[in-house]
């Protein structure tokens, strides 16, 4: 069996390993999936059904997406993200994940270095490895609420550095990176001629006083940024596999060349559903945001009662948080999670999955029903003898 060195280099995902193990037990309290548990809103499903009935979905679309969707996305970026976007600067992708992969492929050559924070969304690291580039991990400052360490980013730049890749709000820490830090990062990128790939999957889920800020809204850096977005989180469209990216028109032409061999085009039925999402009422998005905020508050309250076991930074966004394990068994987060699952039927994600500084932490998701959070914490209180 011949397997490429770059694929061999990719470790087995700790997230998938925990999912596999969790399936061996019954009645598990799941805090390990970053997947919204509700259903796609009805008006979005109806948009897809209508497109099928109209016979619009059996062929390929143009590879960058159907023109109406690209135009609606550009309008949304102008309205909600202060990004001066045109329809020709939009590429519709298979979830944000394919857009991120295509953006990395189009931005780096083998051996180039890409700076990423740690902890970060582990798939970004894998995407860099798949492009035969080198991920260079720059620790976030946990003591400052997992803030970006811009000085450390600057020190990490070498002759080989080609790109920076971040997500804000951040998975797994839920940090909404500060506008001032993002502006400093932008200046650094301009100074060193680096591409910045930004994943804004959780853009709508921020909690007061935190505000989402899109790097692409800074005019001086507009040509150097690729921003990847998704319908997965905003409209609970996980299985529809639909997202998009924004970049300069010149970059879109190049990224499209990487997009075609991965996808040809995004699923056409999902493009029509996405159009219905953008054209319909946005009340559902605010409804999810409020629900995540109250689930975050509940999770923090329950964590406060376990203060001998975990310390935490209150997340400003997303539906994820990243408590530090305080017990002696916490130094190996994978072992800690396996034991917690086996002995108390609670599934959380080992922090090591998100980069070296993720060790001694776990990721917990609060995109679950209140009853699931309470069940998990009741069990942990019994398990840790609180």
Binding site for ligand PLP (CB under 6 A): 34, 95-97, 121, 167, 171, 199, 201, 230, 232, 238, 243
Residue of 119, 95, 38, 137 lying closest to 242 (CA atoms) = 95
Q: Is 55 helix (H, G, I), strand (E, B) or coil?
A: coil
Residue of 265, 264, 272, 232 lying closest to 57 (CA atoms) = 272
Residue 34 or 380 having the CB closest to ligand PLP: 34
Shortest spacing between CB 320 and ligand PLP, in angstroms: 8
Residue 72 or 167 having the CB closest to ligand PLP: 167
What is the full DSSP assignment across 240-266? G--EEEE--HHHHHHHHHHHHHHHSS-
Residue 295 or 306 having the CB closest to ligand PLP: 295
Shortest spacing between CB 158 and ligand PLP, in angstroms: 26
Give me the residue whose beta carbon is nearest to ligand PLP. 95
CB proximity list for 77: less than 8 A, separation 6 or greater: 83, 85, 90, 214, 216, 246
Residue 161 or 232 having the CB closest to ligand PLP: 232
Shortest spacing between CB 1 and ligand PLP, in angstroms: 29
Residue of 61, 17, 73 lying closest to 333 (CA atoms) = 17
Residue 242 or 346 having the CB closest to ligand PLP: 242
Angle between helices 283-304 and 370-383 (to 10 degrees): 10
Shortest spacing between CB 174 and ligand PLP, in angstroms: 11
Shortest spacing between CB 367 and ligand PLP, in angstroms: 10
Shortest spacing between CB 224 and ligand PLP, in angstroms: 20
* Interatomic CA distance for residues 363 and 119, integer angstroms: 11
Question: Is the distance from CB of 326 to CB of 312 less than 8 angstroms?
Answer: no
Shortest spacing between CB 39 and ligand PLP, in angstroms: 16
Residue 89 or 230 having the CB closest to ligand PLP: 230
Shortest spacing between CB 34 and ligand PLP, in angstroms: 4
Q: Does a cis peptide bond (omega within 30 degrees of 0) precede residue 236?
A: no
Residue 168 or 333 having the CB closest to ligand PLP: 168
Residue of 208, 201, 250 lying closest to 227 (CA atoms) = 201
Report how far apart, in Å, the C-alpha atoms of 264 and of each of 74, 249, 254, 337 are.
21, 19, 14, 39
Q: Is 349 helix (H, G, I), strand (E, B) or coil?
A: strand
Residue 112 is classified by DSSP as -
With left for phi above 0 and alpha for psi between -120 and 50, is residue 360 left, alpha or beta? left
Residue 100 or 306 having the CB closest to ligand PLP: 100
Residue 230 or 271 having the CB closest to ligand PLP: 230
Shortest spacing between CB 95 and ligand PLP, in angstroms: 3
Residue of 40, 107, 39 lying closest to 245 (CA atoms) = 107
Length, in residues, of the chain: 386
């Amino acid at each position: 069996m011949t397997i490429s060195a770059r694929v061999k280099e990719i470790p087995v995902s700790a997230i998938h390993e925990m999912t596999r193990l969790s399936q061996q037990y019954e009645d598990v309290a799941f805090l390990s999936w970053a997947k919204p548990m509700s259903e796609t809103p009805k008006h979005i499903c109806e948009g897809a059904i209508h497109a099928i009935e109209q016979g619009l979905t059996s062929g390929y679309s143009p590879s960058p997406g159907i023109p109406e969707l690209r135009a609606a996305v550009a309008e949304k970026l102008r309205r909600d993200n202060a990004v001066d976007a045109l329809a020709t600067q939009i590429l519709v992708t298979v979830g944000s994940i394919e857009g991120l992969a295509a953006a990395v492929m189009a931005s780096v050559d083998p051996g180039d270095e890409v700076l990423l924070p740690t902890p970060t969304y582990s798939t970004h690291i894998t995407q860099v490895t798949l492009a035969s580039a080198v991920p260079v991990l720059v620790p976030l400052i946990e003591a400052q609420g997992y803030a970006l360490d811009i000085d450390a980013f600057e020190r990490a730049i070498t002759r080989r550095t080609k790109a920076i890749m971040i997500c804000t709000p951040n998975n797994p820490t839920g940090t909404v990176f500060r506008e001032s830090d993002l502006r400093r990062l932008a200046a650094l990128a301009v100074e060193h001629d680096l591409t910045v790939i930004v994943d804004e999957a959780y853009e709508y889920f921020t909690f007061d006083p935190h505000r989402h800020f899109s790097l692409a809204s800074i005019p001086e850096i507009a040509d150097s940024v690729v921003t990847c977005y998704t319908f997965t989180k905003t409209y609970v469209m996980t299985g529809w596999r639909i997202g998009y990216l924004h970049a300069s028109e010149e970059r879109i032409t190049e990224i499209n060349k990487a997009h075609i061999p991965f996808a040809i085009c995004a699923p056409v039925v999902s493009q029509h559903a996405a159009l219905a999402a953008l054209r319909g009422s946005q009340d559902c998005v605010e409804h999810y945001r409020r629900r995540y905020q109250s689930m975050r508050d509940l999770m923090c309250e329950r964590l406060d009662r376990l203060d001998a076991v975990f310390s935490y930074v209150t997340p400003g966004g997303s539906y994820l948080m990243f408590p530090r394990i305080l017990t002696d068994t916490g130094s190996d987060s994978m072992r800690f999670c396996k034991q917690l699952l086996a002995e108390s039927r609670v599934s959380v994600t080992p922090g090591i999955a998100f980069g070296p500084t993720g060790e001694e932490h776990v990721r917990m998701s609060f995109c679950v029903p209140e009853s699931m959070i309470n069940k998990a914490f009741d069990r942990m209180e019994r398990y840790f003898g609180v």
